[in-house]
Amino acid sequence: MAVEAYTEKMQTRQSYRNVWHADLLHTAQADVKYFCYALWCGPCVSYLLRRRALYNDMSRYECCGGYLPCSGRCGESQCPELCLGAEVICCFGTSVSSTRFLLQDEFNIQTTQCDNCIIVFMIGLQQLACIFSIIAMIVGNSELSQASQMLSCFADMVYCSVCACMQTQHKIEMDKRDGVLGDDTMVVPSFQQMSRLDQPVPPGAGYPYRY
Question: pLDDT at position 139, please?
Answer: 86
Let me know if residue 209 belongs to a domain: no
- Check residue 185 and give its pLDDT: 39
Greater model confidence, 45 or 206: 45
Query: Does pLDDT of 208 surpass 70?
Result: no
What pLDDT was estimated at residue 12?
A: 74
Contacts of 87-91 spanning 24+ positions with Cβ under 8 A: 87/63, 88/43, 88/44, 88/46, 88/47, 88/50, 89/43, 91/64
- Residue 32 resides in a domain: yes
Which residues share a beta bridge with 139? none
pTM of the model: 0.78
Q: Is residue 206 part of a domain?
A: no
**Domains: count for the chain:** 1
What lies within 8 Å, CB to CB, of 182 at 6+ separation is 176
The total number of residues written for the chain in this structure: 211
102, part of any domain: yes
* Residue ranges making up the domain that contains 161: 2-191
Which residues are 109's β-sheet partners? 18
Give the mean model confidence (pLDDT) for residues 101-115: 89
Contacts of 31 (CB under 8 A, 6+ apart): 168, 171, 172
Q: What is the pLDDT of residues 143-201, one digit of tens each?
A: 888 888 999 999 999 999 999 999 999 999 999 998 876 544 344 444 434 444 444 44
Evaluate if residue 206 carries a pLDDT over 90.
no
In a domain, 200, yes or no: no
Instruction: Report if residue 155 sits inside a domain.
Output: yes
Q: Name the burial class of residue 92, with classes exposed (0-12), middle (13-18) and buried (19+) by CB atoms within 10 angstroms of its CB.
A: middle
- Residue 197: inside a domain, yes or no? no
Q: Is residue 207 part of a domain?
A: no
What is the gyration radius of the CA atoms in the chain, in angstroms?
Answer: 18
The answer to whether 111 and 104 have CB atoms below 8 angstroms apart is: yes
Q: What is the pLDDT of residues 58-81, one digit of tens each?
A: 999 998 888 777 777 777 888 999
Average pLDDT, the chain: 82
What is the average per-residue pLDDT within 46-66? Answer: 92
Contacts (Cβ under 8 Å, ≥6 apart) of 189: 55, 106, 202
DSSP string, 27-49: HHHHSHHHHHHHHHSHHHHHHHH
Give Cα 103 to chain centroid, integer Å. 9
